[in-house]
């Protein structure tokens, strides 16, 4: 019994990182996928699940074997220029995404009549106190408990009564729509499924937790379970909006739009449960994302970091975490600010910048100089580099589309 309790104690970083990827922007993106294209992109989610599991496992393996975070290893192996590029990419993506998390908190609670001027400050203070005054293990337990809220989405999917035979066919039948909007949505979907900050958090948290390589098999299971659970939730979000909104041509821009639209179509219970899931998703990511950023920047600069450190012991780490919380909550509270575009834009930025982080992870995980006998085998290496190639091609395609639209050579939509 004690051994099983110990093994359960090893698990956590991979699961937290994966489910945090289903944040406010993620819920919004998956809702747009379902409302705009029905079940047509379910097959892509299956492919992304495999890629996510492999990349997530590489990240936790790097953390367990080296005892270092990703930024640490990037600085040592690639030098300051690549480190600076990676950190700049991370800050751009995470700056936009942090705002979207607090926007998600505001949107979810506004559905039950609570003003954002109450919900957002309260959420920011709660998350800040949890991290600054808690230990790593306390924070991890709270984050894992938040993951239970995501069960709201399978429940909602059952309530709306989708066409399960049609879902089965589309899940195994690849479908491509040759239009600009489809490519942009696919990039956004990739960016929210395999998010850069998820990998950085998973590796840094595994390193801080001090997982012994001898017990790494359980950490690997944690990474796989996290990827499967996370994308199963994503699957049900797409199914719910595809079953209710797509047949009626109802378009959504945020998860809150989806929740509101579900009320007359599937009943008030479905809309409320969907909103509860949005709140949990936003709160979890609003804590994990600033932590991942603080880990990465502190590691890149060679400074003390860790949830178990105090402000005096790790001023830069705690300062970056606090700054992102204040920034995210503060921008969300600006009156009249158009927050809706941020929810999708953040995911597009993630999809565009993801190759920068992925190249580092796959290269490091395949290096015997770094991991020795724990380095990638040929299968892992192949899946990793194929993921890098696919993400890069999609990102390049999106940039070309946006440039053509900006010059008027290609119509919007």
Question: Measured at the alpha carbon of residue 84, what is the angle toward residues 79 and 86, in degrees to the nearest 5?
Answer: 100
CA distance 154 to 177: 27
CA distance 218 to 375: 17
Backbone conformation region of residue 306, classed left if phi is above 0, alpha if psi is from -120 to 50, else beta: left
Q: Which of 157, 151, 168 is nearest to 236 (CA)?
A: 157
CA distance 223 to 196: 15
> Hey, where are the domains in the chain?
2-406
Tens of each residue's pLDDT in the chain, 413 residues: 444 444 445 455 656 666 666 677 777 788 888 888 989 999 999 998 888 888 888 988 988 888 888 888 888 887 777 777 777 777 777 777 788 788 888 887 887 788 889 989 998 998 888 777 766 566 666 666 666 667 777 887 887 788 898 899 999 888 877 777 787 788 778 877 777 777 777 887 777 777 777 777 777 888 888 888 888 888 988 998 888 888 887 777 666 677 766 665 656 666 677 777 778 778 877 877 888 788 888 877 777 776 667 777 778 888 888 888 998 899 888 887 665 555 555 556 665 667 777 888 899 989 999 888 888 888 888 988 998 888 778 777 766 776 666 566 666 55
CA distance 227 to 271: 26
Q: Which of 234, 197, 209 is nearest to 12 (CA)?
A: 209
Question: Measured at the alpha carbon of residue 358, what is the angle toward residues 226 and 21, in degrees to the nearest 5?
Answer: 35
2-406 maps to CATH 2.30.180.10: no
Inter-residue contact 260 to 28 (CB < 8 Å): no
CA distance 207 to 292: 13
Please report, for residues 58, 198, 213, the alpha-carbon distance to residue 64 in angstroms, rounded to integers and kept in the order given. Answer: 10, 16, 6
């Amino acid at each position: 019994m004690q051994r099983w309790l110990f093994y359960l104690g090893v698990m956590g970083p991979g699961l937290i990182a994966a489910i945090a990827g289903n944040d406010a922007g993620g819920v919004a993106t998956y809702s747009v996928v379902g409302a705009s294209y029905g079940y047509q992109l379910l097959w892509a989610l299956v492919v992304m699940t495999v890629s996510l599991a492999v990349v997530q496992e590489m990240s936790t393996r790097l953390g367990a074997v080296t005892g270092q975070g990703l930024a640490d290893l990037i600085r040592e192996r690639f030098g300051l220029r690549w480190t600076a590029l990676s950190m700049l990419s991370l800050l751009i993506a995470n700056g936009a995404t942090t705002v979207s998390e607090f926007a998600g908190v505001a949107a979810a609670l506004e559905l039950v009549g609570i003003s954002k001027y109450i919900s957002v400050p309260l959420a920011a203070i709660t998350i800040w106190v949890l991290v600054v005054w808690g230990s790593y293990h306390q924070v991890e337990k709270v984050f894992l408990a938040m993951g239970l809220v995501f069960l709201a989405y399978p429940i909602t999917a059952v309530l709306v009564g989708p066409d399960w035979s049609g879902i089965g066919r589309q899940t195994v039948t690849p479908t491509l729509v040759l239009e600009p909007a489809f490519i942009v949505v696919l990039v956004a979907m990739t960016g929210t499924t395999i998010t850069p900050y998820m990998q950085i958090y998973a590796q840094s948290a595994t390193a801080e937790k001090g997982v012994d390589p001898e017990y790494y098999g359980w950490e690997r299971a944690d990474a796989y379970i996290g990827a499967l659970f996370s994308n199963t939730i994503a699957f049900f979000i797409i199914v719910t909006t595809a079953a209710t909104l797509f047949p009626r041509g109802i378009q959504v821009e945020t998860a809150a739009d989806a929740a509101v639209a579900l009320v007359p179509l599937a009943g008030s219970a479905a809309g409320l449960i969907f909103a509860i899931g949005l709140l949990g998703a936003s709160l979890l990511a609003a804590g994990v994302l600033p932590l991942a950023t603080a880990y990465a920047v502190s590691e890149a600069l060679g400074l003390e970091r860790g949830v178990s450190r105090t402000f005096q012991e790790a001023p830069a780490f705690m300062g970056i975490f606090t700054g992102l919380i204040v920034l995210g909550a503060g921008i969300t509270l600006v009156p009249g600010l158009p927050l809706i575009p941020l929810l999708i834009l953040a995911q597009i930025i993630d999809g565009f910048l993801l190759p920068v982080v992925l190249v580092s992870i796959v290269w490091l995980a395949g290096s015997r100089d770094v991991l020795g006998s724990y380095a990638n085998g040929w299968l892992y290496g192949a899946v990793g580099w194929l993921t890098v190639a696919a993400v890069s091609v999609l990102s390049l395609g999106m940039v070309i589309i946006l440039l053509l639209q900006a010059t008027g050579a290609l119509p919007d939509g």
